[in-house]
Amino acid sequence: MWWQEPITKLKGIGPKKALEFENLNVQTIGDLLNHFPRQGCYLDYSHVKTIKELTTDGEMQLFKGRIVRLNQRRSARNMKYATVTVGDDTGFAEVMLFGPQVYGVRFLKNGEEVLVIGKVTQGRTAKSVTNASLSAVKEEQQAAPGILPTYALTGGLSQNQVRSAVKQALALAKKELPECLPAPIMVKYHFLGRYEALRNIHFPSSPKLLDEATRRFVFEELFFLQCGLLHHRTKIKQENSGIKMSPNGKLWLQVKHNLGFELTASQKKAWQEIDDDMQGTEPMNRLVQGDVGSGKTALALLAMAKAVENGYQTCLMAPTEILAEQHYKEMQKVLEPAGIHTALLTGSLSTKQRREVLEGLADGSIQAVVGTYALIQDAVVFQSLALVITDEQHRFGVAQRAKLQDKSTAAPHVLIMTATPIPRTLALTVYGDLDVSLMKGLPPGRKPVQTLCYTEDMRPGVYKGLIHQIQQGHQGYVVCPLIEESEGVDAKAASELYDELTQTYLKGIPCGLLHGRLKAEEKDQVMEDFVKGKTKVLITTTVVEVGVNVPNATLMIIEGADRFGLAQMHQLRGRVGRGSAQSYCVLLTASQNPVTLERLQIMRTCSDGFLLAEKDLELRGAGQFFGLRQHGLSDLYIADILRDADTLVEARKAALWAMHDPETAAFVENAAATTQFDGRFDRIFNA
C-alpha cells in the first residue's frame, strides 16, 4: 500500500532528509500524514497581531516583528535553549525556544522579520512567549497565503519542506484511503470522511473545516482507545479466573490491630470493596483514589495481610526508592509483628542482599515484598504471587503494571493507589478497565495547611518568613515554576533558582537541590540530607510531589504559582502539614491578571483535592491538569481528555456499542491493525 512506502518516494526527500524525518518518528508516507500540525499553531494571516495587542492569558497567538536580540545558550547539562527578543513599533516580546527549535536559530539574523506563534504570558519585564514556533517571514511568503499549518520540526527541516511533502502524500490519499470508523458512527455523528478530514487538518480550507477535521480525529482516537480498553477487559475476564480468598481471620485482625488506629469511614468503605473483590471469583482490578494523606497505605497493608493469610505472596511497587523505604518501615512495624516475613527490593541492595531476597521470593519464605522498578526484572520470580499493589500509579505505565502481573501463574488481584484527583466522571472513562474506590477526607487530628498568596514584590518578605521557620527548627520547600512540559528545562530552572537563592535570600543556609535529571543515588542523597535535617531548605521541581513525608517541613513556597494547575499545587502542598506544627503554603506569582489571581485565591479556601480538580477542569484554560502526562494519557495524540471530556463520553458509548456487535467489533479490530494509522491503534489493542 502507498502508505507503507518510505517517504523517500516523495519528491524532494532524499536519504538525508529522511533521517531528519525519522527523528519525528516519520518513516512512511502514512506516518507523514499522521504527523499532524501542532494544534492551535496554524498561521492564519487574517489574525496577525502587534505585540501590544497580544493578550497575556496564555492563549496561542500569532504576531510579526523584527529580531532585536538573539541569545543561544547551552547549560551545564548540555541542554540547548534560546531566547529571541522580537520587537515592533508597539513593544517587545521575549520568545523562548527549546529543543529542536533551537537549531533553527542559527539561520536567523538580527533585524530579520519573523512570524511567531505561541502562548503569551506576562514575564517579569516583557511579554514572554512559550510553546513557540518562530519562522522567518521570507520563508512564509513563499507559500500561498491562507491558513497554513506549522509542524513540529527537527534539525535541518523547514516548515516548507514538511508542507510540500504532506501535500504530495495527500494527493496519494485522495486516490485511495479506507475508512476506519464504522459506517453507522460516521452517519450518526456526521463526521468528515477520512481523506477530507486529513486534508483539512493539514491545509484547512476554512477555520470551520479545521474544527470539523479536529472533531473527527479527536473522536477517532478516543473511540479506538475505548475499544482497546474494552477488548482487553473482555480478554482478561475470559482467560482468567481470580484467586478466591477466604473471609478474614486471626492474622488479618492482628495486622489491623497493629495499625494503631481506627479506620476512618472512607477507609472502611474502600476496604469493604477491596475485601469483596478479593473474596470474589474474578481477579480484582481496583483503583483507590484518595487525597494526599487520606491513609491509602493502611489499605495496602490490610490487603497484603489478607493475601498472606490465604497462603499467598504479595508485592507492593513504589515509584521511588524513598517511597519504597517508607513503606518498608511501615511493613516492618505492622506486618512483621504479626509473623509475616517482609523484604525490600531496590536497585541499591548489595549483590548478596539481592540474592537473598530473590531466593526468599522464589521459595516462598518472603511473603510480602516492597520495591521499585527492580521488582519487574526478569530475575524476580515468585512462588505464589496473588496480590500486586502499585502506589502512586501515575508513575508507572500500563506496560510495567502488566509485566508485574505476569509474574503470577493465575491472574493476581491488582490494587492501584493514587492521589491524583481525577474527577469521578473522568476517572471511570479514563480508566475504562478499572473499578474505582474513592476516599474522601483526612484522618483525624490534622491541622489544615494555611495557604497565602503574594505577588512578586513580596518576595523578600516571604523569604524572611522561611528563615523564621528555620530559626524555629523547621524546614521548608521552594518549588520552581513550571516552564515547559519537559524534565530538562524544569531541572535547569531549578538549578538557576538554587544558585540565585543560595547567593541572596538564603545565603549561609544549607539548601538541597532536587530535580528529575539527578541520578537515583543523587536524588536519594539529597532526600536523605533533607529528611535528616542536614539541609534546611529543599529547592525542587515537581518531582517532590509524590508521597514524600518530612513532618518537620512546615513551609512551602511555590514560585510562579500561576503556572501550576490547582490540583497539582494541592499535591505539592500535601508535602507540608504532616507534623503537629502549623504549616504554611505560600503561592508567589508575578501575574497581575485578575483571573489568574482569583484562581490562586481558590487555593486559600479549598483543601479538597477533588474539588480543586473539578475547578481545574472548569477553568482549564488556565493550563495543565495534574497527572495526565503521568497517566500515560500523553500518549494521546490529538485528543485532550479535559477539553474533550464530552467527546470521551460519546466515544465510550460508541465503543460499547461497537464492541458488543460482533461484526462491528471485527471491523474495528481490523481497522486498528491497518498500517495507514502508523500503528498507533494497533499498539492500543496489543498493549
List the single partner that 267 binds among Mg ion, ligand ADP, none, CB under 5 to 8 Å by kind: ligand ADP
**# residues near Mg ion by CB under 5 A:** 1
Q: Residue with CB nearest ligand ADP?
A: 295
User: Does residue 297 bind ligand ADP (CB under 6 A)?
Assistant: yes
- Residue whose CB is less far from Mg ion, 15 or 445: 445
CB of 547 to Mg ion, least distance (A): 5
Closest of 58, 2, 59 to residue 32, by C-alpha: 2
Stretch touching ligand ADP by CB under 6 A, among 141-149, 277-285, 294-302, 507-515:
294-302
Q: What is the DSSP code string of 267-325?
A: HHHHHHHHHHHHHSSSPPEEEEEE-TTS-HHHHHHHHHHHHHHTT-EEEEE-SSHHHHH
End-to-end CA distance of the chain: 25
User: Does residue 579 bind ligand ADP (CB under 6 A)?
Assistant: no
Strand partners, 120: 129
CB of 306 to Mg ion, least distance (A): 19
| 576 contacts 584 by C-beta, under 8 angstroms | yes
Stretch touching Mg ion by CB under 5 A, among 96-104, 201-209, 459-467, 539-547:
539-547
The single residue among 127, 232, 256, 296 that binds ligand ADP, judged by CB under 6 A, is 296
- Residue whose CB is less far from ligand ADP, 426 or 439: 439
- Residue whose CB is less far from ligand ADP, 292 or 422: 292
Q: Report phi then psi at 119, rounded to 5.
A: -85, 125
User: Does residue 295 bind ligand ADP (CB under 6 A)?
Assistant: yes
- Decide: helix, strand or coil at residue 107: helix
CB of 545 to ligand ADP, least distance (A): 11
What grid cell was written down for 488? 530538562
Q: How far apart are CA 583 and CA 450, in angstroms?
A: 6
Closest of 541, 539, 545, 544 to residue 488, by C-alpha: 541
CB of 288 to ligand ADP, least distance (A): 9
- Residue whose CB is less far from Mg ion, 319 or 547: 547
What grid cell was written down for 202? 493539514
- Residue whose CB is less far from ligand ADP, 101 or 475: 475
User: Does residue 294 bind ligand ADP (CB under 6 A)?
Assistant: yes
User: Does residue 551 bind ligand ADP (CB under 6 A)?
Assistant: no
Closest of 541, 548, 477 to residue 323, by C-alpha: 548
The three state secondary structure string of 419-485 is CCCCCHHHHHHHCCCCEEEEECCCCCCCCCCEEEEEEHHHHHHHHHHHHHHHHCCCEEEEECCCCCC
Mark 89-108 with x for binding to ligand ADP (rule: CB under 6 A) and - for no binding.
--------------------
User: Does residue 319 bind Mg ion (CB under 5 A)?
Assistant: no
Stretch touching ligand ADP by CB under 6 A, among 33-41, 286-294, 366-374, 648-656:
286-294
- Residue whose CB is less far from ligand ADP, 100 or 441: 441
| 540 contacts 513 by C-beta, under 8 angstroms | yes
Q: How far apart are CA 123 and CA 126, in angstroms?
A: 5
- Residue whose CB is less far from ligand ADP, 230 or 419: 419
List the single partner that 587 binds among ligand ADP, Mg ion, none, CB under 5 to 8 Å by kind: none
CB of 545 to Mg ion, least distance (A): 12
Residue list 471-510, contact with ligand ADP (CB under 6 A): none
User: Does residue 418 bind ligand ADP (CB under 6 A)?
Assistant: no
- Decide: helix, strand or coil at residue 556: strand
User: Does residue 334 bind ligand ADP (CB under 6 A)?
Assistant: no
CB of 269 to ligand ADP, least distance (A): 12
Helix axes 662-673, 207-239, angle to 10 degrees: 110
The single residue among 293, 397, 516, 533 that binds ligand ADP, judged by CB under 6 A, is 293
| 541 contacts 523 by C-beta, under 8 angstroms | no
Which residues are CB-neighbours of 196 under 8 A, at least 6 positions away?
213
Amino acid identity of residue 461, one-letter, is G
- Residue whose CB is less far from ligand ADP, 147 or 556: 556
The single residue among 148, 298, 567, 684 that binds ligand ADP, judged by CB under 6 A, is 298
> What is the spatial order of strands in the sheet that 584-589 belongs to?
450-455, 584-589, 553-558, 475-479, 537-540, 511-514
Sign of the dihedral defined by the CA atoms of residues 523, 525, 528, 530, in that order: negative
- Residue whose CB is less far from ligand ADP, 266 or 475: 266
Stretch touching ligand ADP by CB under 6 A, among 104-112, 164-172, 261-269, 525-533:
261-269
- Residue whose CB is less far from ligand ADP, 264 or 540: 264
CB of 574 to Mg ion, least distance (A): 10
CB of 443 to Mg ion, least distance (A): 12
User: Does residue 320 bind ligand ADP (CB under 6 A)?
Assistant: no
247-252, long-range: CB within 8 Å, 24+ apart, which pairs? 247/279, 248/275, 248/306, 248/309, 249/309, 251/305, 251/308, 251/309, 251/338, 251/339, 251/340, 252/302, 252/305, 252/306, 252/309
How many other CB atoms are there within 10 angstroms of residue 281's CB atom? 8
User: Does residue 575 bind ligand ADP (CB under 6 A)?
Assistant: no
- Residue whose CB is less far from ligand ADP, 263 or 520: 263
The single residue among 257, 261, 406, 618 that binds ligand ADP, judged by CB under 6 A, is 261
- Residue whose CB is less far from Mg ion, 228 or 547: 547
Strand partners, 553: 475
The single residue among 371, 423, 476, 547 that binds Mg ion, judged by CB under 5 A, is 547
Q: How far apart are CA 508 and CA 358, in angstroms?
A: 46
User: Does residue 264 bind ligand ADP (CB under 6 A)?
Assistant: yes
**# residues near ligand ADP by CB under 6 A:** 15
- Residue whose CB is less far from ligand ADP, 155 or 443: 443
Residue 577 gets the label, from left (phi > 0), alpha (psi -120 to 50) or beta, of: left
The single residue among 87, 443, 516, 579 that binds ligand ADP, judged by CB under 6 A, is 443
| 157 contacts 21 by C-beta, under 8 angstroms | yes
Q: How far apart are CA 407 and CA 636, in angstroms?
A: 29
Q: Report phi then psi at 629, rounded to 5.
A: -60, -45
- Residue whose CB is less far from Mg ion, 37 or 547: 547
Instruction: List interacting residues with Mg ion (CB under 5 A).
Output: 547
Instruction: List interacting residues with ligand ADP (CB under 6 A).
Output: 261-264, 267, 290, 292-298, 419, 443
